[in-house]
């Protein structure tokens, strides 16, 4: 082992080596072993089947090259590949996961540092050093080896390495992938791939010049985002403050001085601006993906979106290639500005391997009416640009169900989906004729259909759907999109815009429903075993009354003398409701002008309220059923568990009986009753609820016209008779879905 120089000298020597062309892996291994305190340097390449194969070494036996293999997760090398995180051990052989390979002759080596070679967040191989002296490698040595790992992407790819999880491709075979529907829709088009930017130039001789290039690129990126928002974003999308807030947050990430300082330090160490950005983003990505809070983990996509645009600015890229109209974008992760960029180029749908309903990109895609499927892992590795893709994210009849992505579909499958698309277009054209007609059943029962919304940018759907009002405005959605609790003035502005857009139609504002799977911004992840039944919603508001009072004051100020309806979520006792109502009344005494009329209601989600109905119906001005939570609490079934997704049904006899009894008691007490849970958005469930006696339903905009069409074809008297017969038969069915669906088909009801 040669005396160690410095990590910076190692990078300088590597730069000289690479200047002569693509360096052999064995030569890189020899250089690393000679410059670091290491007697061994080995390079492993990922092969099909998630197998890491030794492809070059300096210090181990040469005959082990091509023979020594480890599976991902096996041994220290396999752990580094699986976790995408360096393994730095002073006594590797005594680590419980150490895997000894006798053909390598590694028994005398003690210290070990294994660093993954990554491309776009996937493992391409592992770079490892070993030494016979026991010591942990210093931080600057680890960073130097991580930089060398960046350098190995191209030579490992040339040596036949594949990304982790990638199997041999069948370029002409049809493949199917599934994932949760994030934004519903159905589309067919050619694939376009959002691939990661890989820096072509890793080293630079003039750090000062690289710093200037970086600052110029940051400024160019800012101008590009401003132009995108100002001139390219559809007017109805950019009208809402949440959209601007999402992109302002994106701007702040790009200009964050801490992030730029870390990039600057990497440039000072000898990296080019591109390589420094790539290096720091890799580190931040790995850190953020280990954060427990889901909302913060979602910001990984924003970070990578920003880095991609910054790298493009550094590279001075010209105009992007043309994208076929209606193409389907396939991405590992996607940030908001990148989504707007692709939307401007004409895409018709999106598949994102790592995304959720709370991601910024999903929020914007919903406003842009772009169908989105998430979680289709492996699709980006399998797809080629131009492959035909079917994105089937149609709204399904059951919550928690999956959408489907069909890559390179067979001709008859494509033909079938083309027929479905044409039928869908014709159906939507027929629905459009219903927009301005009152919602009613075939036998004349009037029904009120309202919207569930959470962002002001969704308010245009009031006119587009002919909805009677807003049956649920989720006030926490804007907070989650913003990443912080807004002050009274900001909240007042949002709520006033909602009331202005409603133009006298009713709006039911739900107070902050945070906690559970919607974490309070700035709060640590919940340590509760059952957060859905823990400290959330109104419980937070009552324990932190200042937070609740600020929101109530903002709602009262926004009303500015108009009618105001406020409902409280997750109420378990009448006493809780009375306490919350008293806070609202007290705030109303301080605000001028007072609302013309103040309606105070509750969500009914906790079954305990069903045994307090007489007292509740005396105190509440209205009640709205949240079927999502009510169903999971009624059947003690976590709605987030895929194992239980199809086990318990809102059309179960117990649930239908509960809704029917609740409707009768509310009607007798003269208290308006509605359903605003997810189940109301599906035509079959909607007609069953109306038959049970609930004639006000609130749902997403995309469901208004289909539900209106189903109601118009339904003879409620006949359906009510069928349901009464089914519920009174004394059967043991877990659900009445099938007989109700069969009746709907027989009577031509599009449900």
Distance CA 345, CA 340 (A): 9
**Which tokens go with 31?**
């250089």
- Top-confidence residue, 191 or 385: 191
From the candidates 197, 278, 341, 676, give the one annotated as an active-site residue. Answer: 676
Q: Is the bond preceding 84 in cis, omega lying within 30 degrees of 0?
A: no
What are the b/e assignments for 5-40, b being 16+ CB within 10 Å?
Answer: eebeebbbebbebbeeeebebbebbbbbbbbbbbbb
Residue 197 catalytic? no
Distance CA 605, CA 624 (A): 9
DSSP assignment letter at 271: B
Does the pLDDT value for residue 238 go beyond 70? no
Average pLDDT over residues 111-130: 87
Does the pLDDT value for residue 38 go beyond 80? yes
Distance CA 392, CA 372 (A): 9
Kindly report the backbone phi and psi dihedral angles of residue 209, in degrees, each rounded to the nearest multiple of 5, phi listed first: -65, -35
- Top-confidence residue, 47 or 369: 47
Does the pLDDT value for residue 302 go beyond 70? no
Residue 278 catalytic? no
The confidence score (pLDDT) of residue 126 equals 95
The confidence score (pLDDT) of residue 115 equals 94
Q: Which of 284, 300, 283 is nearest to 142 (CA)?
A: 283
- Per-position DSSP letters for 52-118, written without gaps between them: EEEEEEESS-GGGTTT-EEETTSHHHHHHHHHTS-EEESSGGGSTT----GGGT-TT--EEEEEEEE
The length of the chain is 751
Query: Which of 34-43, 558-567, 726-735 is predicted least confidently?
Result: 726-735
The confidence score (pLDDT) of residue 581 equals 96
Contact, 734 vs 655, CB < 8 A?
A: no
Bridge partners, residue 176, by sequence: 406
- Torsion sign, CA atoms 248, 251, 256, 262: positive
Q: Which of 344, 401, 408, 388 is nearest to 370 (CA)?
A: 344
The confidence score (pLDDT) of residue 254 equals 54
- Strand-by-strand arrangement of the 69-71 sheet: 69-71, 51-58, 40-47, 122-131, 111-119, 87-89
Does the pLDDT value for residue 393 go beyond 80? yes
Banded pLDDT at 522 (limits 50, 70, 90)? very low
SS (H, E, C) 591-653: CCCCCCCEEEEEEECCHHHHHHHHHHHHHCCEEEECHHHHHHHHCCCCCCCHHHCCCCCCCCH
Q: For all residues of the chain together, what is the average pLDDT?
A: 82
Kindly report the backbone phi and psi dihedral angles of residue 745, in degrees, each rounded to the nearest multiple of 5, phi listed first: -65, -45
- Top-confidence residue, 109 or 220: 109
- Percentage above 90 pLDDT, the chain: 40
Average pLDDT over residues 327-343: 82
Query: Which of 107-116, 478-487, 561-570 is predicted least confidently?
Result: 478-487
Q: Which of 688, 684, 681, 633 is nearest to 656 (CA)?
A: 688
At 165-215, the pLDDT tens digits run 444 444 457 788 888 888 888 899 999 988 655 555 666 777 788 888 878
Banded pLDDT at 397 (limits 50, 70, 90)? very low
From the candidates 278, 341, 343, 360, give the one annotated as an active-site residue. Answer: 360
> pTM of the predicted model, to two decimals?
0.57
The confidence score (pLDDT) of residue 274 equals 77
The confidence score (pLDDT) of residue 301 equals 56
Distance CA 140, CA 117 (A): 18
Does the pLDDT value for residue 1 go beyond 80? no
Does the pLDDT value for residue 411 go beyond 70? yes
Average pLDDT over residues 144-150: 84
Does the pLDDT value for residue 442 go beyond 60? yes
Which domains are assigned to the chain? Answer: 7-158 (3.30.450.40), 175-417 (3.50.30.10), 437-448+627-675+677-751 (3.20.20.60), 469-602 (3.20.20.60)
Does the pLDDT value for residue 634 go beyond 80? yes
Does the pLDDT value for residue 113 go beyond 80? yes
On the 0-12 / 13-18 / 19+ scale of CB atoms within 10 A, 299 is buried
């Amino acid at each position: 082992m040669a005396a160690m120089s410095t990590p910076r000298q190692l990078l300088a020597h590597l730069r000289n080596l690479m200047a002569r062309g693509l360096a052999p892996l064995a030569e890189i291994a020899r250089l690393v072993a000679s410059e670091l305190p290491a007697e061994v340097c080995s390079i492993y390449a990922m092969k099909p089947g998630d197998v890491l194969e030794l492809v070059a070494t300096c210090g181990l036996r040469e005959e082990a090259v091509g023979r020594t293999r480890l599976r991902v997760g096996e041994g220290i090398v396999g752990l580094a590949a699986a976790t995408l995180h360096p393994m730095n051990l002073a006594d590797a052989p005594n680590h419980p996961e150490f895997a000894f390979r006798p053909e390598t002759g590694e028994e005398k080596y003690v210290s070990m540092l294994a660093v993954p070679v990554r491309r776009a967040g996937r493992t391409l191989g592992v770079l490892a050093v070993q030494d016979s002296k026991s010591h942990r490698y210093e931080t600057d040595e680890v960073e130097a080896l991580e930089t060398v790992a960046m350098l190995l992407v191209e030579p490992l790819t040339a040596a036949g390495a594949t990304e982790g999880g990638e199997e041999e491709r069948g370029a002409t075979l049809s493949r199917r992938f599934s994932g949760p529907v994030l934004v519903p829709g159905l589309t067919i088009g050619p694939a376009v791939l959002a691939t990661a930017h890989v820096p072509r130039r890793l080293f630079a001789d003039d750090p000062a010049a690289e710093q200037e290039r970086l600052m110029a690129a940051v400024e160019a990126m800012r101008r590009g985002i401003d132009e995108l928002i100002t001139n390219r974003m559809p007017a109805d999308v950019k009208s809402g403050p949440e959209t601007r807030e999402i992109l302002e947050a994106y701007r702040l990430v790009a200009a964050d001085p801490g992030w730029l300082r870390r990039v600057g330090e990497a440039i000072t160490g000898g990296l080019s601006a591109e390589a420094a950005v790539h290096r720091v983003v890799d580190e931040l990505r790995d850190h953020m993906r280990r954060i427990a809070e889901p909302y913060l983990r979602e910001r990984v996509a924003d970070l990578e979106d920003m880095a991609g645009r910054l790298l493009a600015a550094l590279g001075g890229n010209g105009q992007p290639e043309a994208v076929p109209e209606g193409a389907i974008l396939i991405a590992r992760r996607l940030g908001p500005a990148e989504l707007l960029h692709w939307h401007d180029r004409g895409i018709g749908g999106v598949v994102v391997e790592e995304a959720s309903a709370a991601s910024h990109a999903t929020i914007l895609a919903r406003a842009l009416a772009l169908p989105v499927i998430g979680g289709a892992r492996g699709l980006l590795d399998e797809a080629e640009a131009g492959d035909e893709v079917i994105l089937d994210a149609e709204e399904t009849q059951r919550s928690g169900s999956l959408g489907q992505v069909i890559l390179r579909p067979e001709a008859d499958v494509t033909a079938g989906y083309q027929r479905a698309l044409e039928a869908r277009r014709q159906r939507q054209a027929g629905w459009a004729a219903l927009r301005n007609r009152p919602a009613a059943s075939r036998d004349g029962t009037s029904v009120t259909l309202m919207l569930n919304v959470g962002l002001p940018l969704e308010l245009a759907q009031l006119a587009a759907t002919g909805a009677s009002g807003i049956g649920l405005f989720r006030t926490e959605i804007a907070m989650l999109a913003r990443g912080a609790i807004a002050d009274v003035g900001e909240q007042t502005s949002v709520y006033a815009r909602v009331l202005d857009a409603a133009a006298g139609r009713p709006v039911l504002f739900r107070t902050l429903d945070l906690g559970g799977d919607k974490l309070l911004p700035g709060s640590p992840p919940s340590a509760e075993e059952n957060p859905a039944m823990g400290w959330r919603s109104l419980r937070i508001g009552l324990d932190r009354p200042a937070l609740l009072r600020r929101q109530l004051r903002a709602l009262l100020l926004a009303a500015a003398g108009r009618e105001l309806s406020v409902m409280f979520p997750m109420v378990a006792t009448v006493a809780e409701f009375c306490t919350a109502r008293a806070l609202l009344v007290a705030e109303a005494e301080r605000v001028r002008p007072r609302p013309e009329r103040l309606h105070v209601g509750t969500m009914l989600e906790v079954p305990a309220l069903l045994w307090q109905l007489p007292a509740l119906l005396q105190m509440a001005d209205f009640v709205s059923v949240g079927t999502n939570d009510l169903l999971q609490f009624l059947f003690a079934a976590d709605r987030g568990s895929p194992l239980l997704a199809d086990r318990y049904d809102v059309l179960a006899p117990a649930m239908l009986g509960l809704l029917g009894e609740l409707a009768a008691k509310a009607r007798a007490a003269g208290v308006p009753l509605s359903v605003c849970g997810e189940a109301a958005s599906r035509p079959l469930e909607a007609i069953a609820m109306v038959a049970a006696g609930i004639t006000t339903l609130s749902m997403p905009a995309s469901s208004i016209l289909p539900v209106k069409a189903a109601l118009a074809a339904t003879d409620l008297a006949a359906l009510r008779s069928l349901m009464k017969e089914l519920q009174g038969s004394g059967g043991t069915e877990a659900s009445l879905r099938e007989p109700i669906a069969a009746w709907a088909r027989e009577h031509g009801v599009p449900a």
